[in-house]
Amino acid sequence: MLKVENLHASVGDKEILKGINLEVKAGEVHAIMGPNGSGKSTLASVLAGNEKFTVTAGSVEFEGEDLLKLPIEDRARRGLFLGFQYPVEIPGVTMANFMKIAVNEQRKHRGLEPLTAAEYLKMMREKSAIVELDSKLTSRAVNEGFSGGEKKKNEIFQMAMLEPKLAILDETDSGLDIDALRIVATGVTRLKREDNATVVITHYQRLLDYIVPDYVHVLYKGRIIYTGDKTLALKLEKEGYDWLINDYREE
Amino acid sequence: MGAQPLPADSNVASGVWWLVASEDRNIVVSEGANATLAIFDAEGAVDVNIDIMAGAELRLLHLVTSHSAAQIAIAVAEGGVCRATEIVVAPSDTRVVASLVGRDARFELGGAFILTDEDNASVTVDVNHMVADCTSRTSYKGVASGKAHGSFSGLVYVAPNAQHTDSEQLSRNITIGDARIETLPQLEIYADDVKCSHGATVGQMDSDAVLYMRQRGLDLATAKRLQIEGFVDDVILHSSVESCVELVTEVVAEKLNRL
């Protein structure tokens, strides 16, 4: 589904990604961990198509297409979803209106008719239940005045509405109390299917108690320096990154 | 909408009225009346004077859709209220002068100008607190794109004896591309026991918000438009003339297509 080869990316003169290789297949869950400043969020942003970053080398294939050629909205319409670490507030734009446009844009891309008002309302009800999102929030402005937990639930609600092929969740667990974390993680797990894939970027092992990854990657200084299974996350939680980083330094 | 053309003698009782301001007018809202008036500008310079008598309430809409240089002067007597909405979508030079001349009078204005292409518009709102215990609220939003140029100038004047004046004035603006907006909020206070606040901002589109919307599949133009709609939406939704909300929404939507 996603094939990243030797990806290099910079912001201004500063190179942040220094040769990322990553392959994600349908049905898989990947976790990307790593110390602060290692390039985790940059990787998510570059894959999503944030124009702040410049790709200087490498390739990214998504469903057989050259992803890097496409603007951000076309990547989204093809089924790539980014759960933002800091969801943005948009005053005056209601969630319901925003998602209606987004859902219908995606349907248009798939050659489907726009949803009727009744179909859309039904969909919103069903999907907001997945993350226990208060249905009142959908009539409010996007993320405005939402608590930290509500904002993150709202990300997963949008993911549920848009049914992406590949969801990249950038530190969706940061700032969540244990209840909100459970709800968010359960939501993600319920959305998992054979034909979609999830990449979770996280600092903490605790999210991976709920979302069990097939692979855990450690990103350090712009490269994936180690890949393991779910037990790697536990080891990192206990022992930190030093043993890995030291190994890497010696190389 | 059940509105009637404003009668020529211009003594307004309760009811819903409309006026195409093609010539100077003097309008009196009778004591205790509860009236609604929509003023649609014709081209050219006109002066409209409105006296709101004691205890009367006027809901006022001023819609500027063509070149105009209108001045609307409003005097509010004791216990009177004026709730005004002004929407400017055309090159123009408009001026609202509200004078609170009786105790416990209140003036509220929610306004928005939306300018595109080579529009050039200036908006002035002067609020004069002439006596004690009056309240005023002005919130004006500006949007300019293309080569448009907008300016907002707002003055709150508080006379020496106008103690306990309670006044807020806010000017918020978004420019797109090379467009320019200037905002000049001013306070002139000669009384010492007053509560007056003012603020002004001129900013660009929120690029983070645009990015966020595009990540959900909205194209750039839709994302920008949605953000601007959201920015001016409260002015329209809280429009003081309810029966005109639909009309105003249409006028604004048409203008936003040109952003």
Rounded to two decimals, the ipTM of the complex is: 0.94
Q: What confidence score (pLDDT) does residue B252 get?
A: 94
Please choose, from the candidates B133, B85, B87, B124, the residue with its C-alpha nearest in 3D space to the C-alpha of residue B106.
B133
Whether residues A77 and B212 touch (CB distance < 8 A) is answered with no
Mutate to test the interface with B, among A41, A89, A90, A110 (most CBs of B within 10 A): A90
Tokens of A2: 């996603």
Tokens of B115: 């300018």
Pair B78, B55: CB distance under 8 Å: yes
Q: What sections of B59-136 are H helices per DSSP?
A: none
In Å, how far is A89's CA from the nearest CA of chain B? 7
Owner of token pair 């994302």: B223
CA distance A29 to B253: 44
Pair B199, B168: CB distance under 8 Å: no
CA distance B244 to B106: 22
Reply yes or no on whether the pLDDT at B207 is more than 70.
Answer: yes
Shortest CA distance from A50: residue in chain B: B211
On whether residue B37 sits in a domain, the answer given is yes
On whether residue B227 sits in a domain, the answer given is no
CA distance B216 to A110: 15
Nearest by CB to residue A93, choosing from B211, B219, B227, is B227
CA distances from A68 to A4, A61, A85, A170, B237 (A): 10, 8, 22, 19, 41
On whether residue B32 sits in a domain, the answer given is yes
Shortest CA distance from A77: residue in chain B: B217
On whether residue B47 sits in a domain, the answer given is yes
**Which residue type sits at A207?**
L
Q: How far does Cα A220 stand from its chain's mean position?
A: 19
CA A119-A165-A108 angle, 5° bins: 45
CA distance A151 to A200: 17
Domains contained in chain B, number = 1
As a whole number, mean pLDDT of residues A3-13 equals 96
On whether residue B8 sits in a domain, the answer given is yes
Bridge partners of A75, per DSSP, are none
Q: What is the pLDDT of residues A83-126, one digit of tens each?
A: 999 999 999 999 999 999 999 999 999 999 999 999 999 999 99
Check residue B15 and give left, alpha or beta (phi > 0: left; psi -120 to 50: alpha): left
Whether the model pTM is above 0.80: yes
Mutate to test the interface with B, among A82, A101, A159 (most CBs of B within 10 A): A101
Q: Using a CB-CB distance cutoff of 8 angstroms, which residues of chain B are in contact with residue A141?
A: 230
Phi, psi of B256 (to 5 degrees): -65, -25
Pair B112, B142: CB distance under 8 Å: yes
Tokens of A45: 């942003």
Which domain does B107 fall in, by range? 4-204
Reply yes or no on whether the pLDDT at B19 is more than 90.
Answer: no
Nearest by CB to residue B230, choosing from A71, A73, A92, is A92
CA A114-A159-A184 angle, 5° bins: 145
Reply yes or no on whether the pLDDT at B134 is more than 60.
Answer: yes
Nearest by CB to residue B230, choosing from A72, A84, A141, is A141
Q: What is the pLDDT of residues A187-213, one digit of tens each?
A: 889 999 999 999 999 888 888 888 899
Please choose, from the candidates B251, B193, B245, B253, the residue with its C-alpha nearest in 3D space to the C-alpha of residue B226.
B253
Kindly report which listed range (B39-43, B150-154, B226-230) carries the lowest average pLDDT score.
Answer: B39-43
In Å, how far is B103's CA from the nearest CA of chain A? 35
Nearest by CB to residue B214, choosing from A73, A99, A162, is A73
Whether residues A77 and B230 touch (CB distance < 8 A) is answered with no
Q: What confidence score (pLDDT) does residue B6 get?
A: 83
Check residue A158 and give left, alpha or beta (phi > 0: left; psi -120 to 50: alpha): alpha
**Which residue type sits at B213?**
M
Q: Using a CB-CB distance cutoff of 8 angstroms, which residues of chain A are in contact with residue B218?
A: 73, 101-102, 105
On whether residue B209 sits in a domain, the answer given is no
- Start-to-end CA distance of chain B, whole Å, equals 30
CA distance A156 to A211: 13
Q: What confidence score (pLDDT) does residue B13 get?
A: 77
Tokens of B98: 């509200």
Q: Residue A23: which H helix or E strand, with range?
A: strand A14-24
Q: Using a CB-CB distance cutoff of 8 angstroms, which residues of chain A are in contact with residue B212?
A: 84, 87-88, 90
Reply yes or no on whether the pLDDT at A251 is more than 70.
Answer: no
Burial class (CB within 10 angstroms; exposed 0-12, middle 13-18, buried 19+) of B235: buried
Q: What is the pLDDT of residues A50-74, one digit of tens each?
A: 999 999 999 999 999 999 999 999 9
Owner of token pair 């081209």: B43
Tokens of B237: 């939704």
On whether residue B220 sits in a domain, the answer given is no
Whether residues A162 and B214 touch (CB distance < 8 A) is answered with no
Owner of token pair 């936003």: B256
A148-162 vs A95-109: helix crossing angle, rounded to 10: 30
Whether residues B211 and A101 touch (CB distance < 8 A) is answered with no
* Buried b or exposed e, range B101-115, using 16+ CB within 10 angstroms: bbebbbbbbbbbbbb
CB pairs under 8 A between A and B: 71
On whether residue B191 sits in a domain, the answer given is yes
Q: What confidence score (pLDDT) does residue A20 get?
A: 96
Mutate to test the interface with A, among B212, B228, B231 (most CBs of A within 10 A): B212
Q: What confidence score (pLDDT) does residue A249 get?
A: 61
Please choose, from the candidates A182, A235, A249, A248, the residue with its C-alpha nearest in 3D space to the C-alpha of residue A33.
A235
Q: Using a CB-CB distance cutoff of 8 angstroms, which residues of chain A are in contact with residue B215?
A: 48-49, 72-73, 76, 81-82, 84
The DSSP letter of residue A28 is -
Reply yes or no on whether the pLDDT at A250 is more than 80.
Answer: no
CA distance A163 to B219: 19
Please choose, from the candidates A107, A48, A113, A45, the residue with its C-alpha nearest in 3D space to the C-alpha of residue A76.
A48
CA B250-B66-B72 angle, 5° bins: 100
CA distance B42 to B38: 13
Kindly report which listed range (A41-55, A202-216, B26-40) carries the lowest average pLDDT score.
Answer: A202-216
Nearest by CB to residue A73, choosing from B218, B227, B232, is B218
Q: What confidence score (pLDDT) does residue B181 get?
A: 97
Q: What confidence score (pLDDT) does residue A203 get?
A: 82
